Amino acid sequence: MEPFHQVAGVAAALPPANIDTDQIMPKQFLRGINRQGLSQGFLFDLRFSAPGQERADFVLNRAPWRSASILLTGPNFGCGSSREHAVWGLRELGLRCIIGTTFGGIFADNCARNGVPAISVPMAELDRLMTLATDPDRCQLVVDLQTQTITSPADGQQLHFDFDPLRRHMLLHGLDAVGLTLQHAQDIQRFEQAYFQARPWLATTASDVNG
Amino acid sequence: MTTARTLYQQIVDTHTVRSLDAPGQVLLYVDRQVLNEYTSPQAFAALHAAGRSVWRPASTVAVVDHVNPTTPERNARTMVLADADRARQVSTLAENCQRHGIDLFDMLDERQGIEHVVASEQGLVLPGMVMAAGDSHTTSHGAMGALGFGIGSSEIEHLLATQTLVYQMMRNMRVSVRGQLGAGVTAKDLVLALIRQIGADGAGGHVIEYTGEAISAMSVEGRLTLCNMSVEAAARGAIVAPDDRLFDYLHGRARVPKGAAWDAAVLAWRQLRSHEDAVFDKDVVLNANDIAPMVTWGTSPDQGASIDAVVPDPEQESNLTQRRSMVRALEYMGLHPGQALDGLPISHAFIGSCTNSRLEDLHAAARVLRGRRVASGVRAMVVPGSTSVRQQAEADGTAQVFRDAGFEWRQSGCSMCVAMNDDHLQAGDRCASSSNRNFEGRQGPGARTHLMSPAMVAAAAVAGTLTDVRRWAAQ
């Protein structure tokens, strides 16, 4: 996973509530067996009226937001389906960071596993950032995960945000979660042994014979 | 300092391999997972790229459910996927299962079905277990007195490789349902009423435990519906404590312990309940007697109302974000404020999905349909949740009731709930649907979905409009 320290760039505002992962990555883009080629599908129906036909009024199709690296979202962004394709697509499009009030839980987990922090901030702060983001001359933000701050040069403010410490550590160092957990392989083996010993009935069900 | 623990906390405690550095974070052991054809290939690819193996293949079952056809005939000819992409997803799943010794319920397997229907049907998930799968509706398995939750493909990879997940402890929400659901009112109506009350993110960061008279009286299949759709309120799990009703349901199923092992298991499972003085972070109370059959009018599952209500007026909504969502939803749905929901014409009726496609659901719909016909101009289809459900419904005459009424009687799969196969609607179609999501485009680009119970779908199919199932007593 690519480490995430800081991103400085254009922020785009997408205020509607409950934008679900069906909208973020519609079903016609779920036909692959890999993680590539999904940028086209990201928010497809909002970005395009037909394949290759952009909706001129949509924020990500206008300068300067076409090159946005930060997305400001309404409540519960990423609710619904667990499809990680939603995150692969937005990452491929160049978005590095999502800022909102709340997120779909699985979506936020998926973001963290792909080097894209999903940052929760209070509603009033989000409103302030969204107002800046709608102004082409004031829409630059600096998100720093090391210092846990969002700086907005246009109004000179710096906002501190809370972030899960373990997740932050993983993101800052671009760590491989599976590799880290496998360092505890002996613990897992010991746990399994005790777990199955305490539940002898599990050994009689077909699926646990080799537990 | 209290040691009283909720059932959810106890399940996490018994599955904690070790605590991790951050507060509330543990390495969580997972008993079971189910794989499907569209979220697992990327996980296997990453596993292979890193040269890793599957920790415990026997904990996993794989099912083809999202992309397979549901044509009425299921045989080697109809189950050939003409679509090259879907065929590759299915063959990739088969190759991965073969390579790692994972049990696969392929399209022609008699155990095939929607992953969550299959898992409970096979007795794969037992009380006190942790179940994770690459599908958000994995919350269903809380009905087994287990903790179930959905994960993305990267977490599937982690689970395959380690049998664990790095897990953040959630907060506890108790939903107490007093009284009893009235005639014609089901678990689906209850969960739609709950989601309307607390909002589409109302249970965010929480695991729900359902308690109360209406839950005790509810069938296990009803509890599966309830726990399944709890994710539409953003719950990260939903549990009903095990009871005799559950033990009766589990007894004799394929993967459930037998004989003396069964007795020992039940003894242990009876201990699985929240301690008397366990503390819940949030308490929600619903009165079951007050709940009427529900339908959604918007494009988020919390945009629902009683069938006897009218479409609400966004002008009455004080929250600006919510008001804008309502305006947009009404535009998409082709509805206007004040319009009666009862009597709204439909073009399609769909009974299916992991939420409502089990035998009890089909029986409830068939009671309405017996001796009646689908209204002209309505295309109605029923997609049983599993091949086994389909066979049972064939054997007990339920299938014939659907056919006689003019429903298409199809093969099992996710079908028109997620519309990843050929079952989808056209723009402007209006569908009474027993599924779980009324999102824009979910059943097809521009399609309009109204969520409701299977019996309500059956009544709508006959009436040709949304209608109150309580006016359509069995004939």
B340 in the same domain as B270: no
User: Residue B328's closest chain A neighbor by CA?
Assistant: A16
In a domain? residue B439: yes
Q: Which of B118, B142, B167 is the last residue of a domain?
A: B167
Looking at residue B79, which CATH number applies to its domain? 3.30.499.10
B258 neighbourhood in chain A, CB within 8 Å: 204
Q: Is the ipTM of this complex over 0.85?
A: yes
Burial B430-452 (b: 16+ CB within 10 A, else e): bbbbbbbbbbbbbbbbebbbbbb
Q: How many Å lie between the alpha carbon of B180 and the closest alpha carbon of chain A? A: 30
Supply the pLDDT for residue A210: 37
Supply the pLDDT for residue B79: 82
Q: Mind giving me the DSSP string for B82-134?
A: -SHHHHHHHHHHHHHHHHHT-EEE-TT-TT-B-HHHHHHHTT-S-TT-EEEES
Supply the pLDDT for residue B324: 94
0.95 surpassed by pTM: yes
pLDDT higher than threshold 50 for residue A118: yes
B183 in the same domain as B65: no
In a domain? residue B251: no
Supply the pLDDT for residue B1: 46
3-state DSSP assignment of residue B284: strand
In a domain? residue B254: no
Looking at residue B215, which CATH number applies to its domain? 3.40.1060.10
Q: Which of B143, B167, B191 is the last residue of a domain?
A: B167
Q: How many Å lie between the alpha carbon of A83 and the closest alpha carbon of chain B? A: 6
B196 in the same domain as B129: no
Q: Which residue has the tokens 């199809």?
A: B410
CB contact under 8 A, B325 and A16: yes
In a domain? residue B408: yes
A185 neighbourhood in chain B, CB within 8 Å: 162
CB–CB contacts below 8 A, A to B: 201
As for how many domains chain B has, the answer is: 3
B183 in the same domain as B153: no
In a domain? residue B253: no
B423 in the same domain as B467: yes
Q: Which of B136, B167, B198 is the last residue of a domain?
A: B167
Give the Cα separation of B36 and A84 in Å (integer): 14
Give the confidence band of A159 by pLDDT, cuts at 50, 70, 90: very high
Beta strands in B139-203 (DSSP E): 147-150, 164-168, 171-178
B115 in the same domain as B101: yes
Supply the pLDDT for residue B3: 87
CB contact under 8 A, A181 and B158: yes
pLDDT higher than threshold 70 for residue A209: no
B434 in the same domain as B412: yes
Supply the pLDDT for residue B2: 58
CB contact under 8 A, B39 and A211: no
B234 neighbourhood in chain A, CB within 8 Å: 76, 79, 102, 104-105
A179 neighbourhood in chain B, CB within 8 Å: 50
B194 in the same domain as B283: yes
In a domain? residue B74: yes
B231 in the same domain as B209: yes
B226 in the same domain as B300: no
B161 in the same domain as B18: yes
In a domain? residue B255: no
Q: How many Å lie between the alpha carbon of A156 and the closest alpha carbon of chain B? A: 27
Residue of A87, A130, A181 for testing the chain B interface, max B β-carbons within 10 Å = A181
B14 in the same domain as B134: yes
CB contact under 8 A, A80 and B136: yes
In a domain? residue B259: no
* pLDDT tens digit at each of 475 positions of chain B: 458 999 999 999 999 999 998 889 999 999 999 999 999 999 999 999 999 999 999 999 999 999 999 998 888 888 888 899 999 999 999 999 999 999 999 999 999 999 999 999 999 999 999 999 999 999 999 999 999 999 999 999 999 999 999 999 999 999 999 999 999 999 999 999 999 999 999 999 999 999 999 999 999 999 999 999 999 999 999 999 999 999 999 999 999 999 999 999 999 999 999 999 999 999 999 999 999 999 999 999 999 999 999 999 999 999 999 999 999 999 999 999 999 999 999 999 999 999 999 999 999 999 999 999 999 999 999 999 999 999 999 999 999 999 999 999 999 999 999 999 999 999 999 999 999 999 999 999 999 999 999 999 999 999 999 999 999 987 7
Which residue range forms the structural domain that includes residue B430?
294-471
CB contact under 8 A, B324 and A15: yes
